[in-house]
Structure 1
Amino acid sequence: MLKVGVLGAGHLGKIHIQQWQEIEGVELVGFYDPSDVQAASTISQYQVPRYTDLDALIAAVDAIDIVAPTTSHYELAKRCLLSGKHLFIEKPLAHNLEEGKELVKLVKEANVKCQIGHVERYNPAFLALGDINVQPMFIEAHRLAQFNPRGTDVSVIFDLMIHDIDIVLCLVKSPVKRISASGVSVLSENADIANARIEFDNGCVANLTSSRISLKKMRKVRLFQRDAYIGIDFLEKKTEIIRLKDTDVPEGMMDFPIEVGNGEKKIISVQMPEVSNLNAIRTELEEFASAIVNNKPVRVSVLDGYHAMDVAHQILKKMSLHNEMHNV
């Protein structure tokens, strides 16, 4: 039985606690949260023991799930890693790049499993791509949300865009060449809407837009590559793949011919891969537990988390420079 402890019992922490209680082969030993109010409501809802001594909880488990505020990720993770515990850290990995770099080093030294909670990697619509060969040359991502005061202590880059940054870095296997960005604060002290353009060494360009002051919600990524378009709707859990094929390829149920010029004809083939009805948070936690028990690699490594953080900080820097130039 894998023994797990949770650090943080806020909104997301409670969701993690609920999921851990239902995962087979796992014993949720307890949770730690300095807030008596959060702790009381958690105990009332889930009847899970509260530890007021952090080191006692760390000592009692095999793995720790950190769902605390980002500013505390580094200190909490460091204590766990120095005790040799496996770690799940909710995104982003750390508060700044120096802390993130140190955690990458500590994970390697501790030789433990460490997974970062970039949950969109487990979105059923993204998983529906399966083994499809994805080689995008242009990516368009829109992540729009209605205003919610929770999360406005950070820029929309770390609140929302970081999800798409991780997805893009996962899909484009090439170093980042150039970044440009702009953003404005509207209802909070930090940027509430932002746009970033990421250019890669292989020629791929990703255009990311995130807003937390929209009237409607949207979480879509569109991929364009040679002879194919792939649309992923993370909100509606839908995936579509549209390909150009030669006319001598047998037609399918959703194929139709078009003329592409000079009398040449092609077939437009529309595929809608089956999207499973799974809980993304439950799946990422189950896979993390399985990686520990079966000694397998995690899907979202500490390095993945660091790279997403790195690009996010570069975007923030470019936004600041852009704003300074236009405020002169």
Structure 2
Amino acid sequence: MKVGVIGTGNMGENHVKTYLAMKEHCQLVGIYDNDPKQGRQISDKYTIKQFQSLSELLRSVDAVSIVVPTEYHYEIGLRCIENKVHIFMEKPITDTVDQALDLIEKAEKAGVKLQVGHIELFNPLIQTLAEQLSDQTIIELDFHRMSPYNEKLKNVDVVKDLMIHDLYILQSFIKQDKLLNFFSMGQIIENTPKHASVLTKSEAGVIAKLTASFKSKRKVRTIQILTEDALIEADILNNQLKITRDLVSQELRIHDTIQPLQRQLTDFIECIRSDRIPTVTGYDGVKTLQKANEISKALHQKQF
């Protein structure tokens, strides 16, 4: 299967490296970036073809990763659908729910697969954590996802960039249980949320607290879960789980040689080959986008 990458920033480069490591699954035909200089750097670095136009790339591939700023997801997604090219769309799916729903409808009519990049669901640590929770009654979950600030984050909304991961992880843990109102507080800097704290509760009574920030002095990715029987602590950066029951703690280190992005893109290729529904559908992306937009809007309106 022939694949391409649209957008060659940091995450786009990760997709390039990953596809090149997946030769048994697909052939990376080339890349396109609307910044020719940026595209040329990646083309030269990995000895891959740099297409001079999006149209040229789309005529040459069966599937693409769209790894561009969110404001361009809808427009490029439509171009892919017009060319019957299957889409892996990095999160969030689009800027607005209406755009996302239109993209999903058009993709379905055209027979185009649309998978959304919820990468943490392919992280072995998160999968192991989900297994640990399968027979547990959850009382509360506490998520922290924080990073130091840099100039590249000037116009980036921390809710749609960082917290969005924990929103879809949270939903995967509570399954069909529905989250109710979100109570949001945060800090707006340069007209975008840079720090956000959210409190929510599900219909079944599960409490969740989520913190995302670009104001931290170090990178943090942790989840703490209190159940009726245990305290479970996850350190995503160090691939560690600590489970405490009756004052006895057990520590697990998750070893895996395959990176979550490779697991995710392999799953995308296989869903095309086997003509099955993507593991993370466009509708999954919409549900997460709705929550992120609601929180971001509340922060802008200073409602909590």
Instruction: Report the TM-score when normalising by structure 2.
Output: 0.91
Contact 2:188 2:299 survives alignment (8 Å)? no
Q: Does 1:180 align with 2:183?
A: yes
Q: Report how far residue 33 of structure 1 moved.
A: 0.9
- Distance in 1, Cα, partners of 2:122 & 2:110: 26
Q: Cα deviation per residue 1:191-249 (whole Å; 9 max; x = unaligned)?
A: 211101122112112100111111121100112222122222111111233335xxxxx
Aligned to 1:138: 140
Aligned to 1:61: 61
Aligned to 1:10: 9
> CA 1:14–1:100 in 2, change beyond 3 Å: closer, same or farther?
same
Aligned to 2:281: 301
Contact 2:141 2:224 survives alignment (8 Å)? yes
Q: Report how far residue 168 of structure 1 moved.
A: 0.7
Q: Does 1:209 align with 2:208?
A: no
Q: Cα deviation per residue 1:24-50 (whole Å; 9 max; x = unaligned)?
A: 231111111111111110111011111
Q: Report how far residue 108 of structure 1 moved.
A: 2.5
> CA 1:112–1:126 in 2, change beyond 3 Å: closer, same or farther?
same
1:319 to 291, 299, 302: 299
Q: Report how far residue 316 of structure 1 moved.
A: 1.4
Aligned to 1:157: 159
5+ residue gaps, structure 2: none
**Which letter does structure 2 place at the counterpart of 1:226?**
E
Matched position secondary structure for 1:129:
helix
Matched position secondary structure for 2:129:
coil
> CA 1:206–1:34 in 2, change beyond 3 Å: closer, same or farther?
same
State which structure, 1 or 2, has the greater radius of gyration over its C-alpha atoms: 1
Contact 2:8 2:32 survives alignment (8 Å)? yes
Contact 2:97 2:289 survives alignment (8 Å)? yes
Structure 1 consecutive aligned stretches of length 4 or more whose deviation exceeds 6 Å: none
Matched position secondary structure for 2:242:
strand
Contact 1:129 1:273 survives alignment (8 Å)? no
**Which letter does structure 1 place at the counterpart of 2:112?**
V
> CA 1:322–1:79 in 2, change beyond 3 Å: closer, same or farther?
same
Instruction: Report the TM-score when normalising by structure 1.
Output: 0.85
> CA 1:242–1:278 in 2, change beyond 3 Å: closer, same or farther?
farther
Q: Does 1:242 align with 2:244?
A: yes
5+ residue gaps, structure 1: 245-257, 259-267
Matched position secondary structure for 2:49:
coil
- Distance in 2, Cα, partners of 1:214 & 1:277: 29
RMSD: 2.0
> CA 1:278–1:25 in 2, change beyond 3 Å: closer, same or farther?
closer
Q: Does 1:284 align with 2:287?
A: no
Q: Report how far residue 8 of structure 1 moved.
A: 0.7
**Which letter does structure 2 place at the counterpart of 1:314?**
E
> CA 1:300–1:243 in 2, change beyond 3 Å: closer, same or farther?
farther
Aligned to 1:265: none
> CA 1:198–1:38 in 2, change beyond 3 Å: closer, same or farther?
same
- Distance in 1, Cα, partners of 2:242 & 2:279: 23
- Distance in 1, Cα, partners of 2:154 & 2:5: 24
Q: Does 1:233 align with 2:213?
A: no
Aligned to 2:46: 46
How do 1:86-125 residues align onto structure 2 when only pairs under 5 Å count? Answer: 86-125=86-125
Q: Cα deviation per residue 1:251-292 (whole Å; 9 max; x = unaligned)?
A: xxxxxxx6xxxxxxxxx4635264424312122112211222
